[in-house]
Structure 1
Amino acid sequence: MHAYEHRLLSVNGITLSLYSAGPVEGPVVWLLHGFPESWYSWRHQMQALAEAGYRVMVPEMRGYGQSSAPPDVASYDLLTVCGDIQAAMDRLEQCSVAVVGHDWGAPVAWHLALLEPERVRVVGAMAVPYGGRPKRPAIEIIRSHFAERFNYILYFQQPGLAEAELDADIPRTLRMMMHNTSAAVPKDFFLQNKPADSTLSQGMQDPGTPPAWCSPEAFECYVRTFEGRGFRGALNWYRNFELNWERTAPLAERKVEQPALFLLGDKDPVGTLEAHTLQKMPGWVPDLEQHLLADCGHWVQSERPEQVNRLLLDFLGRRYTTTA
């Protein structure tokens, strides 16, 4: 097994915690995690990629783990988060990379491809598709569709509200998020109808233990990611839809031209939320390879690690290392 290297980089006004593995001279692959996750969610891919000769870079995104968690909500807009990764690439003198993201890491990966068409040679995303910049901020669309029903993104908007629930029992929060958006429950269980004033956990199941695909060692790493700081920084990512929309105006007509890989679990509730975006994606990502993973929920790289590794290594071998 390849050993993980760890360093703290001063970039873009923050400290970025960065794990890496694989030969230093290997083709560079960045893996970007989402919410509420950990760099360790990529453990299976780090091992497989390192063994295949890639240099794997896995940050703890801002707001998570040992990386900085600025108190200001506006510090978590999408282009600022992209700037963390761009600055780290600059510090490490990387001029040719592949970028792969899951959940919130996927929009970061898509936008890094838009911002860095020369440096980002190929892009991969899991769970969250790209369908161009919306005509208005996504949060406005969500508010209009869920005026009288609960929506977790709306619940996350008011600073302090979701934190009070999620921070009260971090292991329970993580167990419930993992379980209720996985293949262990019906696809739209997480999106069940309930009153607008509900809490996140209302109507959800607490399995009492982490899922089988998250070992005790891995679960402890997830818990440590949030211990002592809670979920405030991670939740702040959800509080910048308006600012993200404003700041991405210069990218509005730009397409993702690089070779792209997209993976989605057939039981991922995000597939329901993003159904319209999925239909639009081929028009905005013309060189696209898509795969729907059977009996798989939201946590694609953890629920189906061997299949993800095969697809990722095949894609990188054909579209990245042959031209890098």
Structure 2
Amino acid sequence: MLDTLNFSKATLLPVNGVDLEVFEAGRKNGGRPIVLCHGWPEHAYSWRHQVPPLVAAGYHVIVPNQRGYGNSSRPDEVMAYDIEHLTGDLVALLDHYGYQDATFVGHDWGAAVVWGLALLHPSRVDKLINLSLPYQERGEAPWIEFLEQILGSDYYFVHFNRQPGVADAILDKNAAHFLRNLYRKNVPLRAPEPGMAMINLAKAETALGEPVMSDHELAVYISAFEKSGFTGGINWYRNLDRNWHLLGDVDPIVRQPTLMIYGDQDVIPKFEKLADFVPNVDIVSLDCGHWIQEEKPEETNQTVLNWLARQSAT
């Protein structure tokens, strides 16, 4: 299905001790790499709207299914999904193509990995564009410990860590139902339900709001997760405290030119101190929810292309 959207056939590339399923387009534009990094529970397919205009603008577009997703490797060890491994995969991907650096674009967890890449391997990041998830200040307490204190044991980040395997099994059993209920937009505000939000979504009989994508598009996600399961992606969450420790001695300032795109209806809050940690940041907000590049593809594309053009002109 990706082939019809200016993707070549996926290639399994051996990098950093795993195989990554990588889609690419615009190889003729060699020398101008841009790497698109999906979030949870997403897929390379989430960038389908962005690939053709980026190729038309002269970019070599590289879109991996990151470890744990699609047909990429799914290591059993939880620590195999920490920020060192996830960023190491992207560095090895650049090495495979012979690039010293690239522009990296991330959404949701993909944004977290791109932020981490800029901190751990700054020489490999030329520019970065992140959607939904702003830079996360490290703070004094490990992230899961902090979130448990603030949001409680049922918050899904905490639940994934404190009750390993429980949510995985429920999501795996209800993959189609969960994804159909999750990928919604214009969801009306309401009081939080008791229990764990992702498990509630997997079991909810009625989906709120409007679908983000067509049934045809959603089928790509459903097929992928029915094959891969959700544990690989959830294991990214199970490394948050480990990542907190791994980043302890790292310079916390991201100095590359950066574009941060928020969704005004997103549940993820904006970070008021973003410019303190990312001094070369431009900030744009779109009238949408969490699934920015799928809810507002044209606006996202125009925002990204305009920003990239301005950066090239300076």
Amino acid at match of 1:214: M
Give the structure 2 partner of residue 207 of structure 1: 207
Q: Structure 1 residues 4 and 196, CA, compared in 2 at 3 Å: closer, same or farther?
A: closer
CA offsets 1:179-222 (integer angstroms, 9 cap, x no match): 2xx33332xx5x715257994338956339x9544123321211
Cα RMSD, aligned residues only: 2.3
Map Cα deviations across residues 107-149 of structure 1 (whole Å, 9 max, x no partner).
11112122333331111111111143222211011111133x6
Compute the displacement of 1:50 (Å): 1.0
Q: In structure 2, how many angstroms separate the alpha carbons of the residues matched to 1:193 and 1:74? A: 32
Which letter maps to 2:224? T
Q: Which of 67, 82, 86 pairs up with 1:77? A: 82
* Equivalent of residue 257 in structure 2, options 256, 259, 275: 259
1:293–1:16: structure 2 CA closer, same or farther, 3 Å change rule? same
Amino acid at match of 1:216: D
- Asked whether 1:285 is paired with 2:278, we answer yes
Instruction: Determine if contact 1:2/1:51 at 8 Å carries over to the other structure.
Output: no
- Within 5 Å, give how 1:19-168 maps onto structure 2: 19-22=23-26, 23-25=28-30, 27-147=32-152, 150-157=154-161, 158-168=163-173
Deviates most, 30-39 or 128-137:
128-137
Counterparts of 2:13 and 2:198, CA distance in 1? 40
Q: What is the deviation of 1:153? A: 1.3
Amino acid corresponding to residue 309 of structure 2 in structure 1: G
AA aligned to 1:233 is G
Tell me the percent identity. 36
Q: Which amino acid aligns with 2:248?
A: A
Matched-pair contact (CA < 8 Å) for 1:152–1:200: no
Q: Which runs of 5+ in 1 are unaligned?
A: none
Q: Which amino acid aligns with 1:150?
A: D
Are the structure 2 counterparts of residues 254 and 171 from structure 1 closer, same or farther at C-alpha, using a change threshold of 3 Å? same
Q: Describe the SS at the equivalent of 1:200.
A: helix
Paired residues of 2:258 and 2:280 also in contact (CA < 8 A): yes
Aligned mates of 1:212, 1:254 — CA distance in 2: 38
| 1:40 to partner: Cα distance | 0.3
Aligned residues: 308
Bigger RCO of structures 1 and 2 (CA < 8 A, at least 6 apart): 1
Give 5+ residue unaligned stretches, structure 2: none
Q: Label 1:192 to 1:11 Cα distance change in 2 as closer, same or farther (>3 A).
A: same
Distance apart, 1:166 and its partner CA: 0.6
Q: Structure 1 residues 111 and 198 mapped into 2: Cα distance closer, same or farther (>3 Å)? A: closer
1:6 aligns with 2:10: yes
Separation in structure 1 between the aligned mates of residue 31 and residue 218 of structure 2, nearest angstrom: 30
TM-score when normalising by structure 2: 0.91
Change (3 A) 1:12 1:290: same
The alpha-carbon distance between structure 1 residues 93 and 202, as it changes in their structure 2 partners (threshold 3 A), is closer
Cα distance change, pair 206–155 in 1 and its aligned pair in 2 (3 A):
farther
Query: Given that residues 6 and 19 in structure 1 are in contact (C-alpha distance below 8 angstroms), is that contact kept between their aligned partners in structure 2?
Result: yes
Task: Supply the distance in 2 between the matched residues of 1:9 and 1:19 (Cα, whole angstroms).
Answer: 10
User: Where does structure 1 differ by over 3 angstroms across 4 or more consecutive aligned residues?
Assistant: 195-200, 202-206, 210-213
User: Hey, what does 1:314 align to over in structure 2?
Assistant: 306
Question: What's the secondary structure of 1:268's corresponding residue?
Answer: coil
